Amino acid sequence: MKWIREYYVKSTLENPKKKLTQKSILLNTANIKTISIIASNKKEIEAITEIIHSDLGIDITVMGNYYDEKSVDEQAFSYKDFTLFGKPREKLIQLLSLTPDLIIFTPERLNYFTLFLLQLQSASYSMGFYNEETEPYLDLMLNNEENDIQSGTALLIKYLKQIN
């Protein structure tokens, strides 16, 4: 059944319904209250959260999710969290109802489901590491030249602060 869900999600990504969202090119870091992280795993979410709280402030609410087909962790999602026709189920609907001020997208292994989740949150300012597939969805991108996720995320935040 995964392939059916993947087919519908992939077709949605290939033929996106353009949402006309008004986003400022600049995001004032002082106005950031909530950040959503879409990462590769739980350890990565914890590392990024640590960087966010040290660089942007401890009072910022951080929500993190990652794609894992076998995990039962609350932060994990998989193709099972989509209907047969590729629509988000209850768990993802709750996640999508929260509109973060900033999305940090860091998965190295991309799949249609993580990209679709990013597309569904298109109203929020998003940043991450450069990849041809993520280019249409991210507002600020850097080449991932750092060896670890903490250094790379610290650079993303540094550049976000500099352009404001």
Over 70: is that where the pLDDT of 151 sits? yes
Task: Work out the mean pLDDT of the chain and round it to a whole number.
Answer: 87
Hey, what are 110's tokens?
């991309």
What pLDDT is recorded for position 21? 53
Over 70: is that where the pLDDT of 79 sits? yes
**Does 17 reside within a domain?**
no
**Does 14 reside within a domain?**
no
CATH number for the domain that contains residue 85: 3.40.50.1220
**Does 22 reside within a domain?**
no
What pLDDT is recorded for position 27? 73
- At 20, the pLDDT band (50, 70, 90 cuts) reads very low
Helices assigned H by DSSP within the chain: 2-14, 42-55, 90-97, 112-120, 149-162
What pLDDT is recorded for position 17? 52
**Average pLDDT, stretch 17-25?**
52
Cα–Cα nearest to 119, from 98, 101, 105, 140: 105
Q: What are phi and psi of 142, to 5 degrees?
A: -130, 150
Q: Would you call 83 helix, strand, or coil by DSSP?
A: coil
Over 80: is that where the pLDDT of 134 sits? yes
Compute CA distances 87 → 22, 69, 71, 101, 118, whole Å: 24, 17, 21, 23, 14
What pLDDT is recorded for position 18? 46
What pLDDT is recorded for position 64? 93
In the chain, the number of structural domains is 1
Over 70: is that where the pLDDT of 24 sits? no
**Does 16 reside within a domain?**
no
**Average pLDDT, stretch 14-18?**
62
What pLDDT is recorded for position 22? 52
Which pTM value belongs to this model?
0.88
The whole domain housing 100 covers 2-8+31-162
pLDDT-wise least confident of 4-18, 35-49, 79-93: 4-18
